[in-house]
Amino acid sequence: MAGNIGIFVCGCDGLISGVVDMAGVEAGLAKVKKRIGAKVFHPRLCGSGGTGAVRSAISQNALDCVIIAGCPESECRDVFNSVAAEAGLAPEMVLRLDIREGCAFPHGNNPGGATAKAVNLIKMWNARARLAEPYKPVYATGNRDVLVIGGGLAGLSSANELAEAGLNVTLIEKESYLGGRAGQFDKVFPRMCDSRCGVTFLVNRLKDNPGIKIMPFTEISGLKGSAGRFEAGLSSRPRTVDPEKCNLCGKCEQICPVILPDEYNFGVVTRKAVTPPRPLDQVGSYVINRENCLPGCSLCADICPAGAIALEREPASSTVKFGSIVLATGWQPFEAEKISRLGFGRYANVLTNVQMERIMSPDGPAGGRLVCPESGREPENVVFIQCAGSRDINYQGWCSTICCAATLKQAINIKLLNSRIKVYVFYIDIRVYGDYEELYSRAQEAGVVFVRSSPAQVYAEPGAAGLMVVGEDTLMGRTLKISADLVVLAAGMKPCGIPQPILNHLSHGQAGESRGNPEEAGLLDRRGFFVGHRQCFPLESPAQGIYPAGTCQEPMDMANTVRGALAAACKIFKTSGERVEVSPMVPQVDKAGCDKCKRCMEECPYGVWYFDNDGYPAPDPLYCKTCLTCVGACPRQCISAQGFSVQELVGTVTARVKETEPGEPHVVAFVCENDAYQAVLLAGRMGLEYPSGVHVIPVRCAGSCNMVLIQDGLPEGIDGFILAGCRHGECHYIHGADRTEERVANIKLTLRDIMIEPERVDFVRLGVRDAEKFAGHARDFVERLKKMGPSPFKKIN
């Protein structure tokens, strides 16, 4: 509680004092004496004379909190903060009060009202200052343990960045090998370098880093805790073959009776239940996929000369604790067999683009030669069909963004291999963006024929050897029929899905209640991709500490995948410092008042709360985004941040203020500082007039408004309240404005019950430039209040 407050009122070289009567303000504050150490009225506080006056008043009177009434906080911040610091006062103890944009400007034609309002505002800020506690810096120790889920390009990139910075990384990969899709492909556009090169490089770097633990064949089986204190259960499938003993003779694979499509090669060839080590398998022995085995079969174990096979091995469970998660679960190809007119699955020579990658890969089933699967011969005519399922509401409504470039890459490579092969591309639009346009030119130069076509159809002519592709050439307005030895379908990308334990964690509140299915909960978009808070924080999930990277978010190329992976690492670096001074806006719980009701945990948009050692909820300061929705939610009003407590705000609504003009309704407006308050400032700058009884208090987020402000303000005789938040879907803290809209709807019901006009409390959504809307709204609101008459409590107070 501040014991010695300084009030400094600035005339702003006439901008304020031209409207607000400075002498009138001084007279209005004459009786404000308790715990006031200095009152200074100055024509221009930010000038050298003014700063000198502030500096000497602070040091001479040992002020512990000062109110600067003048321009908005966005201006002269450095001036006053450094003046305070020079005088030995923490800059956090400087409370800025805007009486220019918020008072002098909008009430330029109403100097009497402006003066009375300035007095009121200073009294309201004084009430805040009186309750302000001295600033105490809070430090937190960072967390340096990270779990990376997925060993593809995104996961490896993040893991490498984190591990090289000295963090402890556990990387889990559900397959037995690393590298993901990038390891399976042939070449990378636009440079046509080897796709496996990048991931091999990363794997080799990681191998030597003691800070990383790589766990292949491992999936996450459970997740507890919250950011900074996660605990995950991991389940590792057994390889069944002892790598120490396996001599790679391959007898096990030969004798294995099971034959299945080989997923590694996207089904172009088959495999056994026993598979040889794939490229980038860090263990290097054969693997027996036990789920594929025939019951009771032990042929492999019986034949193994090295005795390396023990079929009875169980999956191994383990537990890891860590602070953050990188979610890099990647993508999978669209199932092209769903589109029967394209003949995939019916004709062996119809391939998908990913199968084509395997065919053309030097270590693929064809050894890198371009062949038709059916004949084993080089094709003469190759037809690419774009958007196989993509941009089609019957299949995948979206564009996967990279298929066009991928097709161009493959077409160019075919032409490079043998320029006599005829290559056609059936497309709707060629969507290559940025510099990838150059691929299109290269393909054209190489002689690739582009056909702008409606959806094509593939069929085999009875008796003929090849396939026929029929489409309507929409440029020429004619039907086009082309015979092809090989058809390649550009199947789009779909997400692999988020591991169930993570989805469970995210789609339940911290007290365990369900937030509905993942789509309703805003975790996955309608496509199943992982949704960050796209507008402001695209790298974040609804639970802090879980950061998506790569194609689990949306279809993207490799360059963007790496960028995203590094961005996720950056988010984690932010919380990994040795000793971090946390924002004064990180909320703290007064345990003496807390009933452990957990509403703070429930309403936190970021899930950063946990139970401390005494069983009380506490936010992790490293992950808290300081929206202070918890302050607004707490029914016990026992959560506060430094400089922002419910009690301080209550001070503003219970301060002894006067009507700005006779009969003028007294209105307090709590406005979100991010958007709505900017509109208020703009309204002032534009000189838009609104009634002088509207007193604006900027708050962290609309969600930080506790309804007790109304419960306390109403009996004090305040006629009306405005709460202003961001426009729909634009809240910087995901749902702060929605929370408050809902709270306001509820308190309106209460007002109805106690026979007070619910319309006295008003919720409005404002964008940063909604100045007209704000001013108009304030005018209308006050008009309505005048019709209602004064608050019933005006009489009894």
Partner 1 sequence: MPPKVDPTKCDGCQGESEPLCEQVCPGNLMTLEKETKKAYCREPGDCWDCMTCTKACPRQAIQTMLQYQIAYFPGKLIPLVGTNSVTWTSIDCHGRVERFVMKTLVSSDDEDED
Are residues 218 and 237 in contact, defined by beta-carbon separation less than 8 angstroms? yes
CB of 707 to partner 1, least distance (A): 8
Shortest distance (Å) from residue 28 CB to partner 1: 9
Nearer Cβ to partner 1 (129/402): 129
The secondary structure element, H or E, covering residue 646 is helix 646-654
Q: Are 238 and 314 in contact (CB under 8 A)?
A: yes
- Give the span between the Cα atoms of 328 and 561, in whole angstroms: 10
Q: Which is nearer to partner 1, 235 or 750 (CB)?
A: 750
Work out how close the CB of 734 gets to partner 1 at its nearest, in angstroms, rounded to a whole number. Answer: 16
Q: Name the residue nearer to partner 1 (CB basis): 30 or 464.
A: 30
CB-nearer residue toward partner 1: 276 or 790: 790
- The pair of three-digit structure tokens given for residue 606, joined into one six-digit string: 């970021």
**Structure token digits, residue 618:** 């506490």
* Minimum distance, C-beta of residue 396 to partner 1, in the bound complex (Å): 35
| Shortest Å distance, C-beta 208 to partner 1 | 48
φ, ψ for residue 24 (rounded to 5)?
-65, -40
Q: Minimal distance in Å, beta carbon 303 to partner 1?
A: 57
Sole residue written with tokens 């038709």: 372
* Residues found near partner 1 in the complex (CB under 8 A): 1, 31-34, 127, 130-131, 509, 511-514, 595, 597-599, 602-603, 635, 637, 646-647, 650-651, 655-656, 707-708, 711-712, 714-715, 746-747, 749-750, 753-756, 792-793, 796-797
Across 153-177, b (16+ Cβ under 10 Å) vs e yields bbbbbbbbbbbeeebbbbbbbbbbb
> What would the DSSP string read from start to end of 552-590?
GTS---HHHHHHHHHHHHHHHHHT--SSEEEPTTS-EE-
CB of 306 to partner 1, least distance (A): 56
Cβ nearer to partner 1, comparing 24 with 108: 24
3-state secondary structure 718-766: CCEEEEEECCCCCCCCCCHHHHHHHHHHHHHHHHHHCCCCHHHEEEEEC
Q: Closest distance between partner 1 and the C-beta of residue 617, in Å?
A: 11
Measured CA to CA, the distance from residue 218 to residue 220 in angstroms comes to 7
**What is the closest distance, in whole angstroms, from the C-beta atom of residue 789 to partner 1 in the complex?**
14
Q: How far apart are CB 111 and partner 1 at their closest, in Å?
A: 22
| HSE-CB of 429 using CA atoms within 13 angstroms | 9
Nearest to 603 by CA among 736, 710, 724: 736
For 703, phi then psi, to 5°, come to -65, -15
Distance CA 396, CA 389 (A): 6
Peptide bond preceding 190: is omega within 30 degrees of 0, i.e. cis? yes
Distance CA 74, CA 77 (A): 6
The SS3 assignment for 215 reads strand
When the beta carbons of 622 and 707 are compared against partner 1, the nearer one is 707
Residue 627 CB, shortest distance to partner 1, in Å, is 17
Query: What is the spatial distance between Cα 422 and Cα 563, in angstroms, rounded to a whole number?
Result: 36
Nearest 5°: phi and psi at 173? -135, 130
Query: How far does CA 282 lie from the centroid of its chain?
Result: 33
How far apart are CB 788 and partner 1 at their closest, in Å?
A: 15
Strand 5-10 relative to strand 65-70, pairing: parallel
Tell me whether residue 81 is exposed, middle or buried, using C-beta atoms within 10 angstroms of its C-beta: 0 to 12, 13 to 18, 19 or more: middle
Instruction: Tell me how far apart the alpha carbons of residues 321 and 233 are, in angstroms, rounded to a whole number.
Output: 9
Q: Which residues contact 581 (CB under 8 A, 6 or more apart)?
A: 137, 138, 139
Q: Which is nearer to partner 1, 240 or 647 (CB)?
A: 647
Q: Given the complex with partner 1, which of 393 and 755 has the nearer CB atom?
A: 755
Residue 303 or 756: which CB sits closer to partner 1? 756
Cβ distance to partner 1 smaller for residue 4 or 483: 4
C-alpha neighbours within 13 Å on the C-beta side of residue 628:
27
Nearer to partner 1, 382 or 709 (CB): 709
Q: How far is the CB of 650 from partner 1 (least distance, A)?
A: 5
CA separation, residue 726 to residues 369, 415, 500, 703, 763 (Å): 58, 54, 33, 10, 11
Residue 751 beta carbon to partner 1: minimum distance, rounded to whole angstroms? 9
For the CB of residue 3, give the shortest distance to partner 1 in the complex, in Å.
12
Decide whether 81 or 750 has the Cβ nearer to partner 1: 750
CB of 710 to partner 1, least distance (A): 9
In terms of CB distance, is 680 or 707 closer to partner 1?
A: 707
3-state secondary structure of 62: coil
Handedness of CA 37, 40, 44, 48 (dihedral sign): negative
Closer CB to partner 1, residue 394 or residue 797?
A: 797
Q: How far is the CB of 506 from partner 1 (least distance, A)?
A: 15
Closer residue to partner 1 in complex, CB, 592/749: 749
Other Cβ atoms closer than 10 A to 663: 9
User: Looking up tokens 């086009």, which residue turns up?
Assistant: 480
**For residues 268 and 373, is the Cβ–Cβ distance under 8 A?**
yes
Q: How far is the CB of 616 from partner 1 (least distance, A)?
A: 14
Cα 430 from chain centroid?
30
Spatial CA neighbour of 39 closest among 17, 21, 22? 22
Between 495 and 587, whose beta carbon lies closer to partner 1? 587
Our CB check for partner 1 shows the closer of 497 and 792 to be: 792
Residue in 222, 203, 246, 397 with CA at minimum distance from that of residue 320: 222
Residue closer to partner 1 (CB basis): 141 or 514 = 514
